[in-house]
Chains A and B, each alone.
Chain A
């Protein structure tokens, strides 16, 4: 199993540009998540999905959109990129939400908006 994969690894955007961060998992997990990690800060949840076709906002959703058309894929869309969106983005997945289910994380996408 590849686990959770993310592309691209690095990206530089100009202010106002748009892009999609890709995330895929091959563990047949129902739940998928997008977090962002700012320097010196804890990870914050942007969006999550409990299954194909179902998504909801996390703590910091402004400026982002998501979709979940398949169990495997959970892309994150940035519209009109702003310098405040410079961060490292992590995708994660879990089979379900319970006391014994851990979240598995991808390698991250490092995004810089100039």
Chain B
């Protein structure tokens, strides 16, 4: 079964720290991988999309990497701020799984002042 796993499930860091969120997937045949942010009671905001041919994408303080051979992606957040507190979701579009995005359960991040 094609699965997506996110570790850790929850993370608490002091403001200013750099941090890494991890996502692993079970099949290297992917179209792309998306990182989303979800605030409590809200919808999903797309942060970064990495195509299967790319190794990384950057947006502001966010950097996402992709290693298909090892089935891993990381989301690096530099100089974390309390406003970064949210749940971060990793979603993989597998090449042979129809039209669905396969989501992990998310990492709940708390950045304390």
**Which residues from chain A sit less than 8 Å from chain B, CB to CB?**
31, 33, 40-45, 48, 50, 58-59, 90, 97-108, 110
Contacts and interface: CB of A to CB of B under 8 A. Distances in A.
Contacts of A50: 99
B88 interface: no
Contacts, number: 62
B100 A90 contact: no
A44 B34 CA distance: 15
**Chain B interface helix/strand/loop/mixed:** strand
B58 to A, nearest CB: 16
A103 B44 CA distance: 10
A110 B101 CA distance: 20
A90 B103 CA distance: 13
A97 B34 CA distance: 13
B100 to A, nearest CB: 4
B43 A90 contact: yes
B22 interface: no
A102 B34 contact: yes
Contacts of B36: 105
A87 B76 CA distance: 30
Interface string B85-104: 00001010100001111111
A97 B31 contact: yes
Interface residues of B, number: 27
Interface of B: 4, 31-32, 34, 36, 41-46, 49, 51-53, 89, 91, 93, 98-106
B32 A42 contact: no
A48 B100 CA distance: 8
Given A40-B105, A99-B31, A45 B99 contact: yes
Nearest to A9: B41
A42 B36 CA distance: 12
Nearest to A105: B44
A108 B31 CA distance: 25
